[in-house]
Structure 1
Amino acid sequence: MTPFQQAVVELVRHLAPGEVLTYADVAAEVGRPGSAQAVANVLRRVPGLPWWRVVPSTGRLYRTHAPVQAPLLRAEGVDVDDRRVRPSHDQSR
């Protein structure tokens, strides 16, 4: 893995239950602002990561991810309504 990919894996691996970041947040935190799509590519390829804790910057879950992602987020106490993650003070860094 590249240093970028390793940094994404480590950051996402350590997200606590109920903690939600956007793809752009993750990219910025690992020092690669503007690399949200690259973050998504890492999450798609690395098994075992809590990928459901990373959402689009709009807060609206992708239609294809929502059937699995929304229940996982709700189980962790995240407010998801009509595929949209509702902001909460304890859901982001």
Structure 2
Amino acid sequence: MVNDLVFMVLAQGDPGVPSGSEFGKASPVGLFVLVVLIVAVGYLAFALTRRMRRMNRRRAFAEANGLDVFDEQALDQAMREAGLADVDKKRWL
């Protein structure tokens, strides 16, 4: 009799655990957070691709004209003289 009672109490589980038809469903806020994260990752990928293209253009220009790739001032001046427009853009990316 005592063994049956202990078994029934153990089988019932914790009453504080959420259950029911609404348990485990996501809210619209979760979807919004996922969309924002996907947009942020997409923007970072776009910005990195744009930055890498610019760096590759600058490196190719420096190598073609015999300039030091790491001398930014000389490279910027030479690109201005050549008429390339990406020198005057903001450098925040």
Q: Which structure has greater strand proportion?
A: 1
Q: TM-score range by the shorter chain?
A: under 0.3
Using CA pairs under 8 Å that are at least 6 residues apart, name the structure with larger relative contact order, 1 or 2: 1
Q: TM-score, normalised by structure 1?
A: 0.25
Q: Which structure has greater helix proportion?
A: 2
Greater radius of gyration (CA): 2
